[in-house]
Amino acid sequence: MCDTCGCGDSNNITIHPRHNYNHDHNDNHDHDHPHEHSGNHDHTHTHSVGGVPYTHSHAHGHESIKSREIQLNVDVLSDNNSLAGKNRNHFKQNQILALNLVSSPGSGKTTILEKTIQALIGKHKIYVIEGDQQTLLDADRIEKSGAPAVQINTGAGCHLDAKMIDGALKNLTPEPNSILFIENVGNLVCPALFDLGEMKRVVVISVTEGEDKPLKYPYMFQTSHLCIINKSDLLPYVDFRVDEAIRYARSLNPELEFLVVSARSGAGMQEWFNWLEKLLNSN
């Protein structure tokens, strides 16, 4: 689906345990295009990320060329957004609180989910959709914590999309008045572009990562509602400055909320549970 990141090379998307579907792309295109290009064009672009401007330039040459700009990403995302809207309506009609958890690999999303399920499963019905390129490891961990889970293996794909969620829902069938956690593929780039129909997007980072993550991956932080800074128990041993990470993120998204937690020690986790309860009461 993403020609720029390689997702389009994936031939197999698998939903476990009971539903499979494949995407096969066997189009052959033979083209003979004799082109001769010469000439020089210099382009300079100035951008700003987090209020910090930067400039880059590039040059290319051609003598005579007929070109047409085609915004392929608009068409792809339009189809996804249409189905995401249907997912969102389904969640709303059934009062299902759907949350999209996104992060880079190793931030602790799955551990946060395990501890959340263990704390809330006595009061709420909880379901989980897991997204990974391969293996059933995370879904197995979630089910051991007490919540039904469906694993989506994306193959070469680096994100979940609305169609995958629609397929997973046919297997998982969450009951009305429940919580659905969608643990996205570990990646701070492509998942930011794809609406799944969730009510809220929660981005998880850890203190073992750089505090400049928001500046490096701005769109993820611009489109998220809550940022969980995990592994706070390691703060005495790393150079991560919490205030700076928050400042960078809020320069991009002033409305972004923050929680500093340690899923391992439990510090701050009650604030996360309270945040969820508040959403449930307003859902």
CA-to-CA distance for 150 and 168, rounded, in angstroms? 7
Q: What is the pLDDT of residues 86-108, one digit of tens each?
A: 999 999 999 999 999 999 999 99
What is the model's pLDDT at position 77? 86
Buried b / exposed e over 175-189, threshold 16 CB at 10 Å, is: eeebbbbbbbbbbbb
Q: Which helix (H) or strand (E) holds 252?
A: helix 242-252
What is the model's pLDDT at position 74? 57
Which of 8-12, 48-52, 233-237, 245-249 is the least confident region? 48-52
Domain 81-282 homologous superfamily, CATH:
P-loop containing nucleotide triphosphate hydrolases (3.40.50.300)
| CA distance to 162, 179, 180, 211, per residue, from 19 (Å) | 16, 21, 18, 39
Answer whether 171's CB lies under 8 Å from 21's CB.
Answer: no
Could you give the count of Cα atoms lying within 13 Å of 85 in the half-sphere of its Cβ? 6
What is the model's pLDDT at position 5? 55
CA-to-CA distance for 162 and 78, rounded, in angstroms? 11
CA-to-CA distance for 212 and 106, rounded, in angstroms? 17
From the list 244, 180, 184, the residue with the least C-alpha distance to 220 is 184
CA-to-CA distance for 10 and 8, rounded, in angstroms? 5
pLDDT > 90: percent of the chain: 66
CA-to-CA distance for 159 and 150, rounded, in angstroms? 15
CB neighbours (10 Å) of residue 97? Answer: 21
Q: What is the pLDDT of residues 150-203, one digit of tens each?
A: 999 888 888 999 999 999 999 999 999 999 999 999 999 999 999 999 999 999
Parse the chain into domains and list their residue ranges: 81-282
Q: What is the pLDDT of residues 161-173, one digit of tens each?
A: 999 999 999 999 9
CA-to-CA distance for 181 and 144, rounded, in angstroms? 16
Query: Mean pLDDT, to the nearest integer, of 204-216?
Result: 97
Q: What is the pLDDT of residues 49-63, one digit of tens each?
A: 334 443 444 444 444
Q: Is the pLDDT of residue 48 over 80?
A: no
Task: Report the SS3 class of residue 123.
Answer: coil
pLDDT > 70: percent of the chain: 73
